[in-house]
Amino acid sequence: MRTTKKLMALVATAAMMVGLGACSSTRGGSSNSSSGIEKGAVIGVSMPTKSEERWNKDGNNLKAKLEKAGYKVNLSFADDKPAQQNADIENMVNNNAKVIVVAAKDGTAVGPAVEKAKEAGAKVIAYDRLIMNTKAVDYYVTFQLEKVGELEAKYIIDQLGLEKGATGPFNIELFTGSPDDNNAKYFFKGAWDLLKPYFEKGVLVSPSNHGGGVNAQSTVDNTWQKISVQGWKTAQAQTDMESILDSTYAHGEKLDAVLSPYDGITQGIINAIQQKRPDMKPGTDSWPVMTGQDAMEIAIANISKGLQGETVFKDVNELADAVYNMVVEIAEGKEVSGINGKFNNGVIDVPSKLLEPVSITKDNLSDLVKAGYVTQERFDQLTK
């Protein structure tokens, strides 16, 4: 009887030790950085510049959401300098950031910094701009990039009546975004795939020699960087457009349309036309069809005045939400949801979450208020 009691006690003790071992293992797993990130951890957010309206909105939206969820956020703006962005990211690594979100100024130059982040155990999320030529990218969150260009091209096609059989020929000038931004190529590809057939038919022509000329033989790869605007800068776009007007449209020649990939570039084009061709009047057939992107405040005002026909709205609130949800899933050790594509960065196919852009014209301009992108008061100020 006594032997039986001793045996039962030994079994109970062994069971208790197994239970304690299991509890200890569970606690260790929940604090392990590979399965989750504790609240209060540092999340790095690196934006390319403060000089453009959208990056201020993007950075501060994301910071507010993550701080509300209980994380510390190290938000930096790189002042349009790749070296500064690399230094900012290295600083985040030194501050033990667990996730680093990067909207790259230069998608290739930022590679060494994100590689250091990966070596330190951080997750790296490319924000709206793909980080190129490195394995050190876990996820990419952006909009349907080619769709942006498609929406711009469709607006031009519709306004010129090309699908209804208009034969022109119509004079069009084309611009692309910064040559160091990989997204710019995809924007142009989406547009060029739709516009090129009309060049091949002779319905669209680009009479200037801008960037060496755009014609029916042009391809995305041999053209997009030649007609690019470094840094997406308004001043550079204005200089380029003034040169086009002086060389090709100085004697009353008609300019029917301009493919512009971004509202800041569009503003430069508007400035150049107003400077060089004051005979072109908004709201009349003398004023060219113009596109844009980002629904900047200046675009809201320009569209309401008939200076710009369209902008492609990429809701940065939606983008911030998507990245916020991704960070939270990573922090909670969950599988990241909503991956619906992949982009090759030259080394790997990066799992990507792709959002839908929206075409905005005068007809649906107030949708920007409904989306919470701009207040009604500010909208009224811009459109009056």
pLDDT, one tens digit per residue, over 138-165 is: 999 999 999 999 999 999 999 999 999 9
Predicted pLDDT of residue 64: 93
Q: Which of 99, 108, 179, 79 is nearest to 141 (CA)?
A: 99
Residue 22, φ and ψ in degrees, nearest 5: -65, -45
How far, in Å, CA of 124 to CA of 45, rounded?
10
Question: Using CA atoms, how far apart are residues 193 and 151, in angstroms rounded to an integer?
Answer: 12
What pLDDT does 32 receive? Answer: 32
CA distance 52 to 88: 18
90 vs 4, which has greater pLDDT? 90
- Residues forming beta bridges with residue 47, ordered by sequence position: 77
Vertex 352 angle, CA 357 and 103, to 5°: 75
Give the tens place of pLDDT for each residue, 295-304: 999 999 999 9
- Average pLDDT over the chain reads 90
pLDDT category at 279 given cuts 50, 70, 90 is very high
For the chain, give the percent of residues with pLDDT over 70.
91
Tokens encoding 278? 């004051």
Rounded CA-CA distance 131/344 in Å is 10
- In the three-class reduction of DSSP (H, G, I as helix; E, B as strand; rest coil), residue 290 is classed as strand
**Per-residue pLDDT for 210 more than 70?**
yes
pLDDT tens digits, one per residue of 231-260: 999 999 999 999 999 999 999 999 999 999
SS3 content of the chain, % helix, strand, coil (to 5): 50, 15, 35
Task: Quote the CA–CA distance of 14 and 34 in Å, as a whole number.
Answer: 31
User: What is the predicted pLDDT for the residue at 35?
Assistant: 54
User: Which residue in 187, 88, 180 sits closest to 142, CA to CA?
Assistant: 187
Residue 33 predicted with pLDDT over 80 = no
Average pLDDT over residues 195-221: 97
Q: Average pLDDT for residues 203-211, to the nearest whole number?
A: 96
CA-CA distance, 319 to 106, in Å (whole number)? 20
Q: What is the CB neighbour count within 10 angstroms for residue 74?
A: 17
CA distance to 91, 124, 241, 335, per residue, from 120 (Å): 12, 11, 46, 21
Side chain identity at residue 362, one-letter code: K
CATH numbers and ranges of domains, the chain: 42-137+315-355 (3.40.50.2300), 145-314+376-383 (3.40.50.2300)
* 76 touches 45 (CB < 8 A): yes
Quick one: average pLDDT of 12-39?
Answer: 42
**Residue 361 and residue 303 in contact, taking contact as beta carbons nearer than 8 Å:** yes
